[in-house]
Chain A
Amino acid sequence: MRASDIVCHNLQLIVGPCVVLSDATLKLSLTGITVLRGNNGTGKTSFLHSLLGLEAPQQGSLTVLGTTPQKARPYIGYMPQKAGEAAPMIPVIDHVIASISGTKWGFPLNLKRRHDAMTLLTLTNAQSLAHRPIGVLSGGERQRIALAQALSGSPQLLILDEPLAALDPIARQKNLVLLNQLHQQLGLNILMTAHESLTLDGSSKPLREIWLKDGKLYV
Chain B
Amino acid sequence: MFEFSFMQHAFIGCFLVSVLAGIVGWFMLLRRQTFAAHALPHIGFSGAAAAVWIGFSPLLGMIGSSLIAGFFIAHEGHKTGGSFHPLRRETMTGLALTASLGLGVWCLHEANTASNQATTLLFGDVLSLSTTTLMELGGVFLLCIILLGALWRPLLFSSLSPDLAEARGVSVSHISRSFMILAALATSACSEIAGALLSFSLMIGPASAALRLELSPLKGIIFSIIAALALSWSGLILSWFTDAPVSFWISIGAVLLYSVVSCIQRLKLKLFNKV
Interface of A toward B, CB cutoff 8 Å: 52-54, 70, 73, 76, 78-84, 86-87, 89-91, 93-95, 98-99, 101-108, 133, 146, 149-150, 153
Identify the 3 closest CB pairs spanning chains A and B, nearest first: A102-B157, A80-B163, A78-B167
Size of the chain B interface, CB-CB below 8 angstroms: 27
B153 touches A149 (CB 8 A): no
Chain A residues whose CB sits within 8 angstroms of the CB of B161 once the complex forms: 80, 83-84, 86, 95, 98-99, 102, 149
Chain A residues whose CB sits within 8 angstroms of the CB of B160 once the complex forms: 86-87, 90, 94-95, 98-99
B164 touches A78 (CB 8 A): yes
B152 touches A108 (CB 8 A): yes
A83 to B152 alpha-carbon distance, docked (Å): 21
A103 touches B167 (CB 8 A): no
A52 to B170 alpha-carbon distance, docked (Å): 12
Verify if B151 is at the interface (C-beta below 8 Å from A): yes
| CB-contact partner of A105 in B150, B159, B162, B164, under 8 A | B150
Comparing B94-102, B104-112, B210-218, B251-259, the segment that makes contact with chain A is B210-218
Q: Which residue of chain A has its CB nearest to the CB of B213?
A: A89
Q: Which residue of chain B has its CB nearest to the CB of A159?
A: B167
Query: Could you list some 20 contacts between A and B, CB below 8 A?
Result: A70-B169, A73-B167, A81-B163, A82-B163, A93-B216, A94-B217, A95-B161, A98-B156, A99-B160, A99-B161, A99-B168, A102-B154, A103-B153, A103-B165, A105-B151, A106-B150, A106-B153, A107-B149, A107-B152, A146-B164
Interface centre among A78, A87, A91, A94 (most CB of B within 10 A): A87
Verify if B30 is at the interface (C-beta below 8 Å from A): yes
B273 to chain A, nearest CB (A): 13
Given contacts A91-B216, A99-B161, A102-B158, 18 further A-B contacts (CB under 8 A): A52-B167, A54-B166, A73-B168, A83-B161, A87-B160, A89-B214, A90-B216, A90-B217, A94-B216, A95-B160, A98-B217, A102-B153, A102-B161, A102-B168, A103-B154, A103-B168, A104-B154, A146-B164
Chain A residues whose CB sits within 8 angstroms of the CB of B159 once the complex forms: 86-87
B153 touches A101 (CB 8 A): yes
A153 to B167 alpha-carbon distance, docked (Å): 13
A86 to B216 alpha-carbon distance, docked (Å): 15
Interface of B toward A, CB cutoff 8 Å: 30, 149-154, 156-170, 211-212, 214, 216-217
A78 to B162 alpha-carbon distance, docked (Å): 12
A98 to B167 alpha-carbon distance, docked (Å): 14
A102 to B272 alpha-carbon distance, docked (Å): 33
A152 to chain B, nearest CB (A): 9
A9 to B164 alpha-carbon distance, docked (Å): 27
A108 to B30 alpha-carbon distance, docked (Å): 19
B207 to chain A, nearest CB (A): 12
A52 to B151 alpha-carbon distance, docked (Å): 23
